Structure 1
Amino acid sequence: MTWNKKKFKAQGSRLTIHYVARKDAGVYICKAAQITNQGSVVKTQPITLHVQYAPLAVEGRVDKAYGYIGARVNMTCSVDADPPADFSWTHEGRPMNTTDDVEFFRDNNTSVLSVRRSVMVNGESIYGKYVCDAENSIGNVKQEVNLEKGEPPPVPTLEKITPIGPTSIRIRILPTLSLHHLLKVTGYRIQYKKDIRDRDWQDGRYKDFKASGGEYYVIDALEKGQRYVIRAAAQNQAGYSAYSEARKVQLPPEVQDNGAEWPASNPSVLLAVVAGRMLVGKL
């Protein structure tokens, strides 16, 4: 009888692993062979080894968060643990419990502490050091998140919206400079909805984008021949800005036969709503 798992080999019916590590977990195969004059019989048996270990902080964790009055703040604590960890949070040494203003969300070995905006309105006392304690039957690990005062980014500007086919549009957003020197704009949320009477933004959809150097973003899977209303909000580590001024774009009913993008000589009409008046222009 022999055991094998990559570099592990042993004779006999027993396999001993010294200085067990997490990487030793997995499926081991025991193979037994009986050879006689009449023939041979070989049987295998898989044995799964589970290695339990204390919680370990995952790479890439964030130890700083930003918030501002009137916004919601989510702080995340993620670990790698077996068995799964239980979580508890403190703020400046004081235990935190679920209330109308504080919520906890759990997904396997991740805990999210969500501080609602009503706490923010009461003052800046929510800033400071938060400690997440992740614990299982083997041990525990603590993670700190420092919540600092931040500012949302300025409202972005939709410079140009261009149909690039019957079901897609390309949106140009002017680069947005953050007012806070440490809080660069990291992305944009673009909302869009059909331009139908009595339809509000709750009936619309949105798509999130990471900020790119060119600031061009594409929304696809739209309905051809339909007119849409578009707006955007900028995002940084503190949260989202207010939404931009809404603009409208009319999609063409069909693409060109050769599948090329619609040329500037065959422009689509854009409409912008400004101070209650309708301005009409061409791309």
Structure 2
Amino acid sequence: DPPRVDISSVNVSLSEHENLTISCDIFSEALLQRTQIVFNGTLQSYVVDIKLEPSLDGYYTFNKTIRNISEKDSGVYTCVAVNRAGYTNDSTNIIIQLEPIAQILGPHAITKRAHSDVQFVCHVENALQVLWSHNNDTVKKYDINGSYNAVLDVKNVTDDGIWTCVALRDSYSGSDSIALTVLVKPEVTIEGSKNITILNGTTFQLSCTVMAKPAPRIVWHMETERFLPNVVTNPESKVYKSVLTLDSRKEPVNGTYFCFGENSEGINQDSVTIEVRRQMTLINGFTDTSVEMYSQINFTCDIDAYPPSHITWYHNNTRINTNDRISISDDNTIVSIRRVDFVDLGRYVCEADNGFENMSVFGNLAVHGLAKPLISKEPSEIVTQQSKMATIKCRLARGNPEPRITWQYKDDNSDFSSLPDGVSVTDNKFLIISEVQKYHAGKYRCTAENIIGSDLYHVDLIVQYPPEFNVSQENHLEGPIEVRSGNAVQLSCNVSGVPPPIVTWTKDELPVTYSSHVYLNNDSALVLANATAYDSGAFRCNASSALGFVTKDFNIIVYMPPEIAGAETAVRAREGELVWLRCAARGAPPPAVR
């Protein structure tokens, strides 16, 4: 029979630079006449003759290994065996996958100005993906198939760096890079405010930051062309810092300072204005002042400072406004009062502020001859009678300016408040009560007050009125009061008056005889603690004072239920005799016996 032939690695794909081994397995009962490996590729073809020793069992194996394969090794490999019975072969198609290739077109080092745009083009072969990166950070990634021209547009470039194009296929990659250098026209910034004020006799440093590439030339000068010495450092890439030291102790430093930065890409500048200030010094001020009433006074507040200070005037914590009596100089340093009055007295303050420091000057304005109010404190008590007229006076012993007089009133159950009805105040601040009533009684307070101080005067108004019952009664005789013998009864007069009335009691027009069961309590009420028939009668309460009297009558009836004395022993009598039977009954009023 013809030989049987088997080839390994049937129709496989390999990557470039791998090793390829072609194995042929042959079985032939007859002696082999020829064994070969035949290769037909796209770039080359060849035949390899294999010399084999005869095998007793008829099995043969031979290999061909190709190391570091490349595109030329891609094609059809055939194992051929021939014996006297015939010809047999077996084939495999080997595909060599080439490694991805990435090539950036054009120069591989370019220079651009900051904030300009740039475009990169990368030709890619044998890849499934393309990746763009900047300084190892992925910027863009997308899928492709085979060959491709990958374009990357970068807008507004600001930083140097390496831009890399990577061609990817599975675990294989190829890359190419381009170095981008960004040139920066100087950007100059003087740190801090553009208007700076420093204290005279001190030093001050100005810092100027310049961002540029290539390294700039940095110069300082004032309005003149004189260049000023400075110290330049390079704390980080493309950043340069220049420090200019000003010493106001050695020379005047007022003026405008310019910082220039210049390189091949251009020139730029920034400026700052320096002013030197003087500490505030009081040249001419004022203190506490006392003048005559209605005279003229000037308050001066002259302060030396640079920048000039803004002055504000206050009187008793209120900003001063000019009027027909008060004027302020154009430079705010003098306040003039043409005619001093009471309203002008008090505390004056001059406040100066120039934005860096402030100063206050103050003093009090007083006038001669002023006096705190003093009220005569007599009398402390006024007694009047109801329905009469009363006058309460508040006599000033002194006070300049003339004090303001006010009156207030309080009774025993309230605090001081407004005056009660029926009380009027005269022009000379006296109180007039044309018809005094009981509710006018109480404490009156006179307050005298001026800008120097105040004084108080208290006076008690006592309103006298005749005795009167606290409960209105049409007549002062109540109906009979019945009380059972042995019970208690209380007779109340309930009367008031000023001065307090004296209460006396009579029974049947005779003074009451007081005892342990007939007595007066604390309210002058008459108490019959254990009433008896003897207590029945007409009682009268008499309340009297120097202003009059009132009476109230009570009719007391003490009753006792009828009682019959115990029965006598048996009475013996002859038939036909007259017999008297006695019924000993008692009670109040006397009971009827039947």
State TM-score, norm by structure 2: 0.22
Say which one has the larger Rg.
2
Structure with more relative contact order (C-alpha pairs < 8 Å, separation 6 or more): 1
Q: Which has the higher strand share?
A: 2
State TM-score, norm by structure 1: 0.43
